[in-house]
Amino acid sequence: MDEPTTTGNEKAPLLKGVQQSKFIAFCRRHKRIVIPVAVMILLLPLLGLIALKTRHAHAMNWTSPVVYPSPQGYGAGNWSAAYLRARAMVGNMSLEEMNNITLGVVDTTSGCVGVSGSAPQHGFPGLCFHDAGNGVRNTDGVNAYASGLHIGASWNATLAYERAQYMGAEFKRKGVNVALGPVLGPIGRIAEGGRNFEAFAADPYLDGILGAQSVIGLQESVIASIKHFVAYEQETNRNPIANNGNPISSTSANLDDETMHELYLWPFQDLVHAGAGCAMCSYNRINNTYACENSKAMNGLLKGELNFQGFVVSDWAGQHSGLPSADAGLDMAMPTTGYWNERQLEKAVNSGALNQSRLVDMATRIVATYYQFGQDRALPLGIGMPPNLLLPHNYTDAKDPASKSSLLQQAIEGHVLVKNINGVLPLKQPKVLSIFGVLFPQSWEAIGLGTQQSIGIASNAPVQNPPEVQNGTLIVGGGSGSNTPAYISSPYDAIQSRAYDDGTAIFFDFVSTNPTVVSSSDACLVFINEYSSEVWDRPGLADPDSDTLVNNVASACNNTIVVIHNAGIRLVDAWVDSPNVTAVIFAHLPGQDAGRAIASILYGDVGPSGRLPYTVARRSSDYGSLLGPCQADGSLSPQCDFTEGVNVDYRGFLARNTTPRYEFGYGLTYSSFNYANLQTNINATTTPGDTVTPVYTNGTTNDNINNTAIGNGGLLSLFESVGTITASISNTGSVAAAEVAQLYLLIPAATSNSSNPRTRVLRGFEKVLIQPNETAQVAFNLRMKDVSTWNVTRQAWIVPSGEFGVYVGKSVLDTPLTGSFTV
């Protein structure tokens, strides 16, 4: 039979005649199945449309309010003299000169990671910027300090200050004017966050206290650039990706006002109060607006509410617009700019597109900060920073011999002992020791950036298969948070020297994952590491090869002691319950004295005194949605909703009622302590509902200058004391040891719901060294800030009324003393 033909205009039927009747018969027979399927097929496009609309709506839900104009710096508090001098200098500058000092310039004569423009006629030489929060990066003649996370684990504010003091002096001797640290964001919202090791702790209070001391220490020599402002919590999609003309934006951190204040902004406020001179806006978007052009963040929060008097610099290549970024409060673009480099700011002032007062303010803030921290008396710009270490250069030794004991102490105090069965530690003159894993010296940063990292930086794309382990002792993390050691004291060197003293025989294998174990071993030490770096988020929280090594050694050695050099959270459940794993230490990132420090703890010269500044879960899934980064999932505008509010890390575990393996604040030592005698002496009063004026309404009220209640850090009353909580702690063991007493409060508040309940929060800590059988008093001073919550309606911090729960003890979950006070 001839097939009917179709003419040019006719459409061929979907099904031909015979097939049609067969199809109809089939449909009749199977109508129960066919009808729903047909309905679904018909509905699919509709569902697709709804999905698209929802996605769109979801992005649109999170918008950042506009706050104009940018508040002008005016010399609040002890900044007044610097502002007078700055005004005098800037008053003589042309618009072109002002424009010129707001941008980074190419400088081939120094190794500074950024150099700002100069105004030579006025004696302003520009500024040298250099990483990072953990020591002078990528050069010679400097020390490698313990990383931020390691200092967080030390819970020692004095040590944080000392470290910054020595580090700042090194920056100064190198001719660096601005040290790009300390880091407060990422705070550690995401367990696998690549840069969590650069900040101190997954808690805003601890970050604020240690960060403020770091600012004070650094700024005795140079300007500190607190970073990354703000809500920068992941590396994945941190920068825009070109994507063949269809650019994918940086991730948008979508968060509400309360979460912003009580979590992410919190530590920055402490550091601005401590006098920070520079702040770096971050790569991410905040509620869909880039941080470096986000007027709510820079004008509203930083310069308005916190009354920041210094200048805002962009993260490197984090500027994405010209005038919008200037109007939003950005004062300097780094390391170069395509937006301001052709006198665009000057021209915009001349055309009326930019208010002249904004450009004057940008220049004045920069010059005032230069004067405020004595940079007019600094060494020539970048003098000790050779552009290329491989070419002949003058060697500048920036190290102060007096820093040695502090470096060692920093390295020691960040170690956290989490398991110690039957007192296997400290070691007691072992006859035979077997050692395995990665514990020889290696300077990662000195060798250069890892290939993966260079690729990642170049392409801006998320890195595939980033490494979890590096060969050799991990003393720092990677990227701009790393630093170059003057030397490395490796665990192997340090243990060998102890073996010499004790006559111990050492057997080692640094290669195999299934090493042979000498049966006479008194103990087997296994050193593993967990690497992390800027540019990528970690692929997991425990690398399988290291777990295999530990399990293999433990199966052959009944006294297996595991030391983990970890640049972030590291899970241990693959082996920690094995009876043969007798002791475990989180050694974090101790800097160049890693070996000396671990040996002094293993051999009991000192007791371990670190406590976890984050939560170690039993399994990855216990972190829930906060395990890994948000993914773009094909979107050109990746969205990351911070729906957990303030409940990150331990607060999330409390809120979800999930029991961790090792909780925030946990850590053992070689002694034991008894807590007693809790006393609360608080006289805070509830903030009256009708008398509160907002701390800063918006940019239109540029009136901080007329408000004596406002100073550096914002409302000064927030920093006033509302009383103390005291307790006594006795050392009930037989050796001297340090205890970290911690205070947690459960703050009564209106905003609490079942999915995001308010939990206890850290509000005080004190580290005390106590001799055996002695008792020490600890006193936690509470500031108004510490008993306040952010009220989004009133746009003010308020002290809520009701009963405040008080918990004092050894960790967030182990609080032998409980009480309350009522406001």
Residues binding ligand BGC (CB under 6 A): 113, 131-132, 180, 227, 315-316, 480
**Residue pair 92/100 in contact by the 8 Å Cβ criterion:** no
Alpha carbon 601 to chain centroid, angstroms: 27
407 contacts 483 by C-beta, under 8 angstroms = no
Nearer to ligand BGC, 315 or 739 (CB): 315
Bridge-based pairing of strands 796-798 and 789-791 is antiparallel
CB of 325 to ligand BGC, least distance (A): 17
**CB atoms near residue 728 (< 10 Å):** 16
State the minimum distance, in angstroms, from the CB of residue 198 to ligand BGC.
8
Helix 404-413 with 157-173: angle, nearest 10 deg: 140
Closest distance to ligand BGC from the beta carbon of 129 (Å): 7
What the block records as the tokens of 112 is: 């500074």
Q: Which is nearer to ligand BGC, 183 or 597 (CB)?
A: 183
User: In Å, how far are 210, 402, 608 from 409, measured between CA atoms?
Assistant: 16, 12, 11
In the complex, minimum distance from the CB of residue 246 to ligand BGC, in angstroms, rounded to a whole number: 24
Alpha-carbon distances of 324 from 69, 329, 661, 809, rounded to whole Å: 11, 9, 47, 49
The residue assigned the tokens 């990665």 is 438
- Closer CB to ligand BGC, residue 386 or residue 809? 386
Shortest distance (Å) from residue 789 CB to ligand BGC: 31
Kindly tell me the sign of the dihedral angle through the C-alpha atoms of 432, 667, 623, 157.
Answer: negative
In the complex, least distance from residue 113 CB atom to ligand BGC, rounded to whole angstroms: 4
C-alpha distance from residue 387 to each of 144, 502, 705 (Å): 19, 46, 43
CA-wise closest residue to 153 among 217, 199, 108, 122: 199
Minimum distance between the CB of residue 181 and ligand BGC, rounded to whole angstroms?
Answer: 8
Question: Closest Cα partner for 225 from 172, 268, 170?
Answer: 268
- Closest contact distance (angstroms) between CB of 264 and ligand BGC is 16
| Beta-strand pair 223-229/278-281 | parallel
Nearer to ligand BGC, 315 or 468 (CB): 315
Instruction: Find the shortest distance in angstroms from Cβ 316 to ligand BGC.
Output: 4
Note the Cα 399 to chain centre separation in Å: 26
- Distance in angstroms (rounded) separating the CA atoms of residues 589 and 597: 11
469-496: burial string, b at 16+ Cβ within 10 Å, e else: bbebbbbbbbbbbbbbbbebbbbbbbbb
315 or 543: CB nearest ligand BGC: 315
Name which of 227 and 320 has its Cβ closer to ligand BGC.
227
Q: How many residues does the chain have?
A: 823
CB of 152 to ligand BGC, least distance (A): 17
Residue with tokens 């979460």: 259
- Which H or E element spans position 115? strand 114-116
Q: Which of 131, 315, 361, 622 is catalytic?
A: 315
Which amino acid is it at 353? A
* For ligand BGC, the closer CB: 460 or 558: 460
**Integer Cα distance of 558 and 554 in angstroms:** 6
The pairing of strands 710-711 and 714-715 is antiparallel
Q: Minimal distance in Å, beta carbon 617 to ligand BGC? A: 27
Smaller CB separation from ligand BGC, 185 or 324: 185
Q: What is the DSSP letter of 263?
A: I
C-alpha to C-alpha distance for 253 and 266, rounded to whole angstroms: 16
Asked about 605 being catalytic, the answer comes back as no
First to last CA, the chain: 95
Structural tokens at position 406: 């502090």
Q: How wide is the angle at C-alpha 264 spanned by C-alphas 259 and 266, nearest 5°?
A: 100
Number of DSSP helices (H) and strands (E) in the chain, helices first: 20, 28
Tell me the residue type at 559. N
- Name the amino acid, one letter, at 148: G
Q: Which is nearer to ligand BGC, 73 or 133 (CB)?
A: 133
Closer of 313 and 576 to ligand BGC (Cβ): 313
Please state the closest distance from residue 162 (CB atom) to ligand BGC, in A.
23
Query: Which residues touch 303 (CB under 8 Å, ≥6 apart)?
Result: 70, 71, 73, 312, 329
User: Nearer Cβ to ligand BGC, position 182 or 300?
Assistant: 182
The dihedrals phi and psi of 380, each to the nearest 5 degrees, come to -55, 140
Q: How far apart are CA 206 and CA 78, in angstroms?
A: 26
The residue among 180 and 345 lying less far from ligand BGC, judged by its C-beta, is 180
306 touches 718 (CB < 8 A): no
Catalytic amino acids?
Answer: 315
